[in-house]
């Protein structure tokens, strides 16, 4: 497996048993059982009948990864899938000249590496951990057999593939159909989750991405993103304090998107 990971469980009689290592790898609180996972009700793949979840636990290896670790690399033959239990993972693709495009940031509950694992073709993206994460691994043979035996799990996998497809189309629309880098950045900021203050008409966003990462997500250079942030602040669209971005003029950004 790629470097930078740390296994935190072992198998005993086909059932996962917690090791002492699971108490504090990379400062994470390790989820010992899928049945006790806080994301079970939120994510398609996790919310399965108890019998299917117990079978899933029997074929799963629990592992913790530090920031900067790679779960898999674009072009690598598929070994299996990773169920993201905590943390965040960046999914990106690169060109021959070294340019990178971030497709999306995965959240807990997602199953990573699905298309490649199902088709047997190389991973189409690179998955990099951007904050310490628990990502449970299931080998390709075990995963395919599990889907054959549990039809509901196979349906959930199909649903996630469908969601991934729609997300990819939305990303293509943002990058391919936007007329300017300013429009792309405005659309990116408006799509981020935030706290809305209806009285003031403001939206507060916690922005954890660097200008370079934002550029990789919208298809622009780091210099362009930095210049646009300065321009948006000058026009009083935004206020930036550390990692907190306050959208002061949402209508102004929306006008850029609709222009």
The CA distance from 181 to 248, in Å, is 20
- The domain spanning residue 110 has which CATH number? 2.60.120.10
The CA distance from 248 to 10, in Å, is 51
Domain of 223 in residue numbering reads as 178-258
The backbone torsions φ and ψ at residue 142, rounded to the nearest 5 degrees and listed phi first, read -65, -40
Note whether 112 and 211 are same-domain residues.
Answer: no
CB within 8 Å of 174: residues ≥ 6 apart: 184, 187, 188, 218
pLDDT of 17 above 70: no
Domain-terminating residue out of 150, 176, 202 = 176
Give the residue, 134 or 45, on which the prediction is more confident: 134
Note whether 103 and 90 are same-domain residues.
Answer: yes
Note whether 43 and 163 are same-domain residues.
Answer: yes
Total number of domains constituting the chain: 2
The backbone torsions φ and ψ at residue 182, rounded to the nearest 5 degrees and listed phi first, read -65, -40
Note whether 158 and 194 are same-domain residues.
Answer: no
The CA distance from 140 to 116, in Å, is 10
Domain-terminating residue out of 121, 144, 176 = 176
Give the residue, 66 or 11, on which the prediction is more confident: 66
**Percentage of the residues of the chain whose pLDDT score is greater than 70:** 78
Note whether 74 and 143 are same-domain residues.
Answer: yes
- The pLDDT of residue 30: 67
- The pLDDT of residue 232: 94
Note whether 48 and 80 are same-domain residues.
Answer: yes
CB within 8 Å of 218: residues ≥ 6 apart: 174, 175, 181, 184, 185, 187, 188, 225
Note whether 88 and 191 are same-domain residues.
Answer: no
Note whether 92 and 128 are same-domain residues.
Answer: yes
pLDDT of 14 above 70: no
Residue 1: inside a domain, yes or no? no
Residue 147: inside a domain, yes or no? yes
Domain-terminating residue out of 176, 210, 233 = 176
Note whether 183 and 167 are same-domain residues.
Answer: no
Note whether 140 and 44 are same-domain residues.
Answer: yes
Residues β-bridged to residue 185: none
Residue 13: inside a domain, yes or no? yes
pLDDT of 162 above 50: yes
pLDDT of 158 above 50: yes
The CA distance from 118 to 94, in Å, is 22
pLDDT of 36 above 60: no
- The pLDDT of residue 207: 87
Note whether 199 and 115 are same-domain residues.
Answer: no
Average pLDDT of the residues in 107-111: 86
- The domain spanning residue 232 has which CATH number? 1.10.10.10
Note whether 203 and 153 are same-domain residues.
Answer: no
The CA distance from 64 to 61, in Å, is 10
Packing angle between helix 211-218 and helix 181-191, nearest 10 degrees? 100
Give the residue, 127 or 34, on which the prediction is more confident: 127
Residues 205-240 pLDDT 10s: 988 888 998 998 888 889 999 999 999 999 999 999
The backbone torsions φ and ψ at residue 131, rounded to the nearest 5 degrees and listed phi first, read -150, 150
């Amino acid at each position: 497996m790629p470097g930078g990971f740390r296994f935190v469980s072992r198998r005993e009689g086909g059932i996962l048993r917690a090791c002492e290592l699971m108490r504090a790898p990379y400062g994470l609180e390790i989820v010992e059982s899928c049945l006790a996972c806080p994301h079970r009700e939120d994510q398609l793949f996790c919310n399965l009948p108890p019998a299917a979840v117990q079978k899933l636990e029997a074929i799963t290896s629990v592992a913790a990864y530090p920031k900067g670790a790679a779960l898999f690399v674009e072009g690598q033959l598929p070994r299996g899938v990773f169920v993201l239990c905590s943390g965040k993972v960046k999914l990106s693709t690169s060109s021959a000249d070294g340019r990178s495009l971030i497709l999306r940031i995965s959240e807990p509950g997602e199953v990573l590496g699905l298309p490649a694992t199902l088709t047997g073709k190389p991973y189409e993206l690179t998955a990099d951990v951007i904050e310490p994460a628990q990502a449970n691994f299931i080998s390709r043979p075990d995963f395919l057999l599990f889907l054959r035996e549990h039809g509901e799990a196979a349906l959930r996998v199909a649903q996630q593939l469908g969601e991934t497809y729609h997300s990819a189309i939305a990303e293509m629309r943002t990058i391919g159909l936007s007329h300017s880098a300013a429009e792309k950045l405005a659309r990116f900021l408006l799509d981020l989750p935030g706290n809305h203050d209806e009285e003031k008409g403001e939206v507060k966003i916690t922005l954890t991405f660097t200008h370079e990462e934002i550029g990789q997500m919208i298809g622009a250079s780091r210099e362009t993103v930095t210049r646009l942030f300065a321009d948006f602040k000058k026009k009083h669209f935004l206020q930036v304090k550390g990692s907190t971005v306050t959208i002061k003029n949402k209508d102004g950004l929306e006008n850029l998107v609709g222009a």
